[in-house]
Amino acid sequence: MHPMMRRVLYFCIAAIGFINAFVFLAITAFFLGGGVAGEVRNGHYYLNNHGHFTEVSRPVYLYADIHFWVTLVLILIGSVAFGRVLRLPRRL
């Protein structure tokens, strides 16, 4: 693959990872009332936001939990891709 095409690909991967992080923060902080799947007590599901728990339904709880882990993985992949973008121009 041509180095310029590789650079564009890595930049797109990094952008997707970081955009997803902002989307996750916006959805969980403003709409759901918590960022991380907190706990399950007696069949009730709670999201945790800095010690403040918000009760949510099971599908919302599962969504928040899955989106958290996907976001974490995408940030790691995006960071590696961004590091490759920074290294590529030296080789061009």
Domain coordinates of the chain in residue numbers? Answer: 3-91
Question: Residue 13: what residue type?
Answer: I
Residue 3 has pLDDT above 90, yes or no: no
Distance CA 7, CA 1 (A): 10
- pLDDT of amino acid 65: 86
- pTM across the whole model: 0.77
Instruction: List, for residues 43-60, the tens digit of each pLDDT value.
Output: 899 888 777 888 888 898
Instruction: Tell me the two tokens of residue 73.
Output: 């993985």
- Among the listed residues 84, 56, 72, 80, the one whose alpha carbon sits nearest the alpha carbon of residue 24: 72
- pLDDT of amino acid 5: 86
Is the separation of the CB atoms in 35 and 48 below 8 Å?
yes
Distance CA 35, CA 18 (A): 16
